[in-house]
């Protein structure tokens, strides 16, 4: 393995920001609101592409103590599957035999093949539970607008379809870090795909909503978010640590917390433009980007206080890698995000001040223009 020095300090921000990657290729911290980091926050994973399309692509790691990067291998799809409380990320590696699901330990950097997609279709998205027993992937088109998720038993090497539902062609599926076995699923009500899988319409008039389903695929628990309960959900959501609750944003810039069985979601904060959101591994904080300004904000899940962190200077354009997609490392030391401020997307890390996020919120106060709950 060879380590490369690519990091560059970024000047002019209220907190220390590092540009972690600088090679003249597209580097990004992967789509979806999961935390692609070791449990101690020491290393993160990212994807590197040599063309705007997703092939050929590679998975790389960055060691945040040295700010150096290293190549881990080729990937067949840009998704990585993980869970906020584990050290591993899972990815698909192509070879002459087909697609292989690989487990990469971010602490030891050891890799192993855990499943071969021989008779099982390669997934477009995936997730793993905190015990790493299963891999859930999909979606598979069953008929019309009905899609399925399947689960791979990583101990037995078997797979089976376990859940079907209308309009889950963009499921953002995520295992509960709390170990319940429940899965968070995004439902793009009224969306349409053509026969080749191209999106004709992302959502219908109702917009997207969310539900939770168990590993048997039968116990579906809708969440009271999206119309008629709130404005349309943006499609950016995640579990809040081990709390069993879900964090999400809505089209009017609302940040909500909700759990199965709630009659209504709890409004934490609101600012026009809030979009991609991620919770800290301990469930205490969140980070969110503003897609109108490119700014990043951190907030407290218990109080709803929100403070400006730094400018991402991302263009927030059409390609997903121009969106910041921020997340907090599990040690609450850095916010990792994307930016194409140089003209090419690179991965950045904003250092949270020594102390706690509460200290930052106390020192900066509530950002002007961010509405408090209630």
What pLDDT does residue 1 have? 86
What pLDDT does residue 362 have? 67
Q: Is 171 exposed, middle or buried (0-12, 13-18, 19+ CB in 10 A)?
A: buried
**Prior bond of 310 cis (ω within 30°):** no
- Parallel, antiparallel or unpaired: strands 346-351 and 334-339: antiparallel
pLDDT score of 54 more than 70: no
Q: How far is CA 2 from the centre of its chain?
A: 27
Q: Comparing 134-138, 169-173, 187-191, 195-199, which segment has the lowest mean pLDDT?
A: 195-199
Q: Assign 366 a pLDDT band (cuts: 50, 70, 90).
A: low
Residue with the two structure tokens 């009224």: 190
Q: Is 96 helix (H, G, I), strand (E, B) or coil?
A: coil
What does the alpha-carbon distance between residue 210 and residue 229 come to, in Å, rounded to a whole number?
A: 12
Question: Which among 304, 204, 306, 208 is positioned nearest to 251, based on CA atoms?
Answer: 208
Continuous segment of H or E residues that includes residue 359:
helix 357-364
Q: Assign 30 a pLDDT band (cuts: 50, 70, 90).
A: confident
Read off the tokens for 110: 């050891």
Q: Comparing 92-96, 141-145, 223-227, 237-241, which segment has the lowest mean pLDDT?
A: 92-96
> Tens digits of per-residue pLDDT, 244-263?
999 999 999 999 999 999 99
Distances (CA, A) of 206 to 203, 225, 355: 8, 11, 43
Q: Which pTM does this prediction carry? A: 0.94
Per-residue DSSP letters for 36-92?
-B-TTSSEEEEEEESSSSS-SEEEEEEETTTTEEEEEEEESSS--B--TT-SEEEEE
Continuous segment of H or E residues that includes residue 364:
helix 357-364
Helices (H) and strands (E) in the chain, counts: 1, 31
What pLDDT does residue 97 have? 78
pLDDT score of 374 more than 80: no
What does the alpha-carbon distance between residue 281 and residue 84 come to, in Å, rounded to a whole number?
A: 6
> Tens digits of per-residue pLDDT, 159-169?
999 999 999 99
Q: What are phi and psi of 190, to 5 degrees?
A: 85, 5
* Averaged pLDDT for residues 23-47: 91
Question: Which among 107, 259, 239 is positioned nearest to 177, based on CA atoms?
Answer: 239
Q: With the C-alpha atoms ordered 125, 92, 39, 328, is the resulting torsion angle positive or negative?
A: negative
Q: Assign 356 a pLDDT band (cuts: 50, 70, 90).
A: low
pLDDT score of 276 more than 70: yes
Q: Averaging pLDDT over each range in 11-15, 258-262, 307-311, 370-374, which range is the top one?
A: 258-262
Percent of the chain exceeding pLDDT 70 equals: 93
Q: Comparing 181-190, 318-327, 362-371, which segment has the lowest mean pLDDT?
A: 362-371
Read off the tokens for 227: 């119309």
What does the alpha-carbon distance between residue 20 and residue 134 come to, in Å, rounded to a whole number?
A: 32
pLDDT score of 265 more than 70: yes
Q: Assign 197 a pLDDT band (cuts: 50, 70, 90).
A: confident
Q: How far is CA 151 from the centre of its chain?
A: 20
> Tens digits of per-residue pLDDT, 97-142?
789 999 999 999 999 999 999 999 999 899 999 999 999 999 999 9
Non-local (6+) Cβ contacts of 359 within 8 A are 353
* Averaged pLDDT for residues 22-39: 89
What does the alpha-carbon distance between residue 313 and residue 93 come to, in Å, rounded to a whole number?
A: 32
The residues facing 136 across adjacent strands are: 127, 151
Average pLDDT, whole number, for the chain?
92
Per-residue DSSP letters for 302-333?
TT--EEEEEE------SSGGGS---EE-TTSS
pLDDT score of 26 more than 90: yes
What does the alpha-carbon distance between residue 349 and residue 29 come to, in Å, rounded to a whole number?
A: 11
The residues facing 166 across adjacent strands are: 146
> Tens digits of per-residue pLDDT, 279-295?
999 999 999 999 999 99
């Amino acid at each position: 393995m060879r380590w490369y020095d690519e990091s560059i300090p970024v000047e002019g921000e209220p907190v220390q920001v590092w540009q972690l990657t600088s090679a003249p290729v597209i580097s990004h911290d992967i789509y979806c609101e999961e935390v692609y980091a070791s449990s101690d926050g020491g290393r993160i994973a990212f994807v590197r592409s040599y063309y705007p399309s997703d092939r050929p692509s590679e998975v790389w790691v960055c060691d945040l103590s040295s700010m150096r990067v290293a190549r881990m291998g080729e990937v067949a799809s840009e998704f990585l599957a993980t869970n906020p409380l584990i050290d591993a990320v899972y990815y698909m590696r192509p070879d002459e035999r087909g697609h292989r699901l690989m487990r990469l330990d971010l602490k030891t950097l050891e890799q192993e093949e855990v499943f071969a997609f021989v008779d099982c279709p390669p997934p477009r998205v995936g997730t793993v539970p905190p015990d790493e027993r299963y891999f859930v992937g999909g979606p598979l088109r069953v008929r019309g607008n009905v899609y399925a998720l399947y689960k791979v038993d990583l101990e037995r090497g078997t797979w089976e379809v376990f859940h079907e539902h209308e309009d889950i062609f963009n499921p953002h599926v995520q295992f509960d870090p709390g170990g319940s076995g429940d899965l968070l699923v995004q439902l793009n009500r009224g969306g349409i795909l053509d026969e080749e899988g191209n999106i004709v319409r992302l959502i219908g008039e109702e917009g997207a909503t969310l539900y939770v389903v168990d590993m048997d695929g039968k116990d579906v628990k809708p969440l009271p978010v999206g119309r008629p309960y709130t404005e349309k959900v943006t499609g950016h959501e995640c579990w809040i640590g081990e709390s069993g609750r879900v964090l999400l944003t809505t089209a009017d810039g609302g940040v909500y917390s909700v759990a199965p069985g709630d009659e209504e979601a709890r409004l934490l904060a609101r600012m026009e433009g809030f979009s991609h959101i991620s919770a800290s591994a301990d469930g205490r904080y969140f980070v969110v980007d503003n897609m109108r300004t490119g700014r990043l904000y951190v907030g407290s899940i218990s109080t709803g206080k929100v403070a400006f962190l730094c400018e991402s200077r991302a263009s927030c354009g059409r390609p997903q890698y121009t969106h910041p997609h921020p997340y907090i490392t599990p040690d609450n030391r850095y916010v990792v995000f994307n930016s194409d401020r140089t003209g090419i997307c690179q991965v950045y890390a904003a250092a949270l001040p020594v102390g706690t996020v509460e200290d930052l919120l106390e020192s900066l106060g509530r950002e002007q223009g961010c509405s408090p709950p209630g």
